[in-house]
Amino acid sequence: MAGTRAAIRYAKAVIELAQSSNSAEVVNTDMSLIANTISDSKDLSDMLESPVVKSAVKKSALLQIFNNITPLTVNLFDTLITNRRISILGDVATKYNQLFEQLSGAELATVTTVVPLTSDLEVKVLAKLKELTGKTVEVKNVIDEDIIGGFVLRIGDLQYDASVANKLNKIKQEFSLN
């Protein structure tokens, strides 16, 4: 919880600096790359969280992995290392992306399904989301076989769970109460 609050604070600070230097979009590209790379690489994530690996080694590794990033992003690395918060770099990058999308008037909706969305269904989902929110919405499809069927829609703080797994859990709870 405290890590999440700190990540939001750092992301807000970076987006303010990026906006003042008219580089918010370029930094957003950096943050997307960082968030995706950290979430896809368990080794990188473990290295950032390791108390054994020295800060200088972490910074050197980050600069080699992300060699085409803006100076503002490099300053973020330095700040997080100085404050001993480099382990939350992935969270900061994710929060930055969310803040950037909010500022640009676009929202990111995550639709979790068992099979990938067809382009026809994605168009229908986008139209319905635009009607409900009044904003431009981008859809990210996540595949999760554990939901058995149906879908889970998450946009901002709201979540609508129409998955079979959720319905089965509700039935299970009803039977366990009797």
List all residues 6 or more positions away from 143 whose beta carbon is below 8 Å from its beta carbon: 112, 113, 114, 115, 116
Examine the domain organization and report whether 82 and 144 are in the same domain: no
Domains in the chain: how many in total? 2
Instruction: With 0.75 as the threshold, say if the pTM is over it.
Output: no
Give the closest residue to 30 by CA, choosing from 65, 59, 3, 80. 65
Burial class (CB within 10 angstroms; exposed 0-12, middle 13-18, buried 19+) of 5: exposed
Examine the domain organization and report whether 64 and 133 are in the same domain: no
- What's the pLDDT score for residue 1? 45
Final residue belonging to a domain, choices 50, 71, 102 = 102
- pLDDT by residue (tens digit) across 25-56? 899 999 999 999 998 889 988 999 999 999 99
Supply the CATH number for residue 123's domain.
3.40.30
Give the closest residue to 151 by CA, choosing from 159, 128, 138. 159
Final residue belonging to a domain, choices 102, 129, 158 = 102
Supply the CATH number for residue 93's domain.
1.10.520.20
Domain hosting 50: range is 2-102
For residue 79, the one-letter residue type is T
Examine the domain organization and report whether 142 and 113 are in the same domain: yes
Final residue belonging to a domain, choices 102, 123, 145 = 102
Three-state secondary structure call for residue 178: coil
Examine the domain organization and report whether 56 and 128 are in the same domain: no
- pLDDT by residue (tens digit) across 81-120? 999 999 999 999 999 988 888 887 777 788 898 899 888 8
Examine the domain organization and report whether 85 and 33 are in the same domain: yes
